[in-house]
Amino acid sequence: MGTTSDVVRGNAGSMQVIGLALAPAQLAANTSAEQTFLLPGVEATAIIGGVSFLGAMAAATGIVNARMVSAGLLGITFSNSGAGTPTPTAGTFAVTVIRPNVWPLPVNGI
C-alpha cells in the first residue's frame, strides 16, 4: 500500500495494532476459556477491536472474544471445538486497541 494516515474519524481517539508475543495454555475438550496476558500501557476502558494470530492456529482451536480485564491486562477467550486438549499455537498475535475519545460511549450513531 505504501501510504499512511493519522486522520481520526468518528469518536475513536486513537487506534493502534500491537504485535504481542503470547504462549497460550492448553485447552480442555469441547470448551471455551479466557486466558489473560499482560498488555502494558493499555487502559481498562480501551476497546479490543480484534485479535488475530499471525500464523496457522492449532487444529480445532480459535479465538472467540477479547477484552481488557483491567488496566494492562488483556483477556482472550480461546475455543476448542474438539474432544482433544490442544494448546493454541504460541507466537505473535495482532491486537487492535481502540481508545474512544468520549466516555461513556454514545448509545446511538447520530
49 SS3 class: strand
Query: Could you tell me the residue ranges of all domains in the chain?
Result: 31-100
Tell me: pLDDT of 84 over 90.
yes
Q: Position of cell 471445538? A: 81
Q: How many residues does the chain have?
A: 110
When comparing pLDDT for 10 and 15, which is higher?
15
| Digit-coded pLDDT (tens) for 18-32 | 999 999 999 999 999
| Digit-coded pLDDT (tens) for 30-66 | 999 999 999 999 999 999 999 999 999 999 999 999 9
